A and B are shown apart, each in its own frame.
Chain A
C-alpha cells in the first residue's frame, strides 16, 4: 500500500521545502491580487494607467502560477524555454493582429458603407 502519510512527510522535494504552505500562501496572494484588480477598474484615474496596472497584475498572476503551481521553478530550464517560445509566438500574433486591425474593423458592414 502506498498511502503512508508518515513516510510521505519524510520525503519532501527540495531541501527543507514545504510546498503545501507555499501553495496556500500563493493562492491567498492570487485572490488578493484579483480583488485589487476588481477595485482598480472603478478608480478615477486615466484609462491608460488603469489598463497598464491591470496588465501588470495579470502578468504577475500568470508568472506566479506557471513558476510555482506548474513547477517551472523546480523543473529543467528547457521546459521554461519551450513554453515561452509558444507564449512569445502567441503574444506576437496578438500584437500583430491588434496592429493590423483597429477599432474601426468592428463596425457592422452596413454602417461601414460596404
Chain B
C-alpha cells in the first residue's frame, strides 16, 4: 500500500462506526476503565493493611529501596515515551522507526521486570518479607506482582507486534510458512530476552557479593559461559530475522493495532505512577 494513499487515514476518528471511534480503541478504553477499579481495590487494600506488621517482620520503610524504585520508575516513564514514538511512527507509515521504538520499549520493560525480580528476591531472602508472613507482604506482593504481570503481558504483546511487522507482502499464499517462521522468531526472541535477564540478574548478584572488578567478571564468565554463548547466538538469530527481505504487509492501516497496544502500555505506566507514590514514597514521610 502506498504511503501517499494512506496518508489520509484519520487515526482518531472512524466514520464507519456508530460512535465515530474505532471499535478496537473503544474496546481498549472500556477494558482500561475496568482495570482502574481492579487496581483501585488492590492499592486501597495495601494502604489499609500496610501498618502494624507482626513481630519479626520488618516495617515497609526498612525493606524498600528508594534508589531502585526510582530507577524503575524512570525506566517505565522512558518506555512510555518510546511507546508513544512507536505509535507516532506507524501513524506516519515509518515501519523502521516503529521497530526501533518497539525494541527500545521491550528493552525498558524488561529492565523494569528485572528490577522487580531483583527487588522481590531481595525482600524475600534478605529482608524476610514474604507473601505469607504478614498481611503487609500479602498486599504488597499481590499489588506489585499483579502490576508486574501486566508489564510481562505488555512485553509479550510488544514482541508479537514487532514480529508481526515483518510479515511479507503477499504472505497469504504461504500462510503456513509465515506462521512457522514467526513462531521460531518468537521463541528465539523470548529465549534471548530471558537469557539476557538471567545473566544481568546473576551478574548483579555476583557483583554485589564479590565487588565489581575484573576477577568477578572473569569468574562470572567462567561459570555462566553456556548462558553467555546462548545469549550471543540468540542475538545473532534475532538480528538474522530482522534482515530486510522485501516489502512487508504492515503500514499505516495497522496503526490502530499498535495504538491499542500503546494504550495498554501507558496504562501500566500510569498505574505505576500511583503505586510509586501510594506504596513507596508514602513510607518515607515521617
A residues with CB within 8 A of B: 1-5, 7-13, 19-20, 23-24, 26-27, 30-31, 34, 37-38, 40-42, 47, 50-51, 54-55, 57-58, 61-62, 65-66, 68-71, 74-76, 78-79, 82-83, 85-87, 89-91, 93-94, 97-98, 101-103, 105-108, 110-111
Cα A107 to Cα B54 in complex, Å, equals 8
Number of A-B contacts (CB under 8 A): 211
B273 touches A38 (CB 8 A): no
Which of A20, A47, A86, A105 lies in contact with B88, CB distance below 8 A? Answer: A20
Cα A30 to Cα B95 in complex, Å, equals 27
Cα A101 to Cα B35 in complex, Å, equals 23
Cα A13 to Cα B89 in complex, Å, equals 11
A41, closest chain B residue (CB): B284
Given A62-B270, A82-B33: A2 touches B40 (CB 8 Å cut-off) = no
Chain A nearest CB, measured from B253 CB (Å)? 9
Chain B residues, Cβ within 8 Å of A78: 19-21, 26
Chain A nearest CB, measured from B243 CB (Å)? 15
A90 touches B270 (CB 8 A): no
Within 8 A of A (CB), among B1-47: 1-4, 6-8, 11-13, 19-21, 25-26, 29-30, 32-41, 43-45, 47
B105 at interface by CB-CB < 8 Å = no
Given A2-B6, A7-B3: A76 touches B19 (CB 8 Å cut-off) = yes
A2 touches B85 (CB 8 A): no
B3 touches A86 (CB 8 A): no
Chain B residues, Cβ within 8 Å of A68: 84
B29 touches A82 (CB 8 A): yes
Chain B residues, Cβ within 8 Å of A101: 48
A-B contact pairs, 12 of them (CB 8 A): A2-B3, A3-B93, A4-B94, A8-B92, A8-B93, A9-B92, A58-B274, A90-B37, A91-B36, A103-B52, A106-B50, A106-B52
0/1 interface trace, chain B 243-286, chain A, CB 8 Å (1 if under):
00001101110000001001100110110011011100110111
Chain A residues, Cβ within 8 Å of B282: 51, 54
Cα A93 to Cα B134 in complex, Å, equals 24
B74 at interface by CB-CB < 8 Å = yes
Chain B nearest CB, measured from A89 CB (Å)? 5
B80 at interface by CB-CB < 8 Å = yes
Interface size on B, residues (CB 8 A): 84
Cα A94 to Cα B83 in complex, Å, equals 29
Chain B residues, Cβ within 8 Å of A98: 44, 47-48
Chain A nearest CB, measured from B85 CB (Å)? 6
B153 at interface by CB-CB < 8 Å = no
Cα A11 to Cα B45 in complex, Å, equals 47
Most buried by A among B19, B44, B262: B44
Which of B13, B34, B277 lies in contact with A86, CB distance below 8 A? Answer: B34
Given A13-B11, A66-B270: A97 touches B41 (CB 8 Å cut-off) = yes
Known contacts A2-B247, A27-B81, then 20 further A-B pairs from the complex at CB < 8 Å, ordered by chain A residue? A2-B93, A8-B3, A27-B80, A30-B80, A31-B78, A51-B282, A58-B274, A58-B277, A62-B270, A76-B19, A87-B36, A89-B33, A89-B37, A90-B39, A93-B44, A97-B48, A98-B47, A101-B48, A106-B48, A106-B49
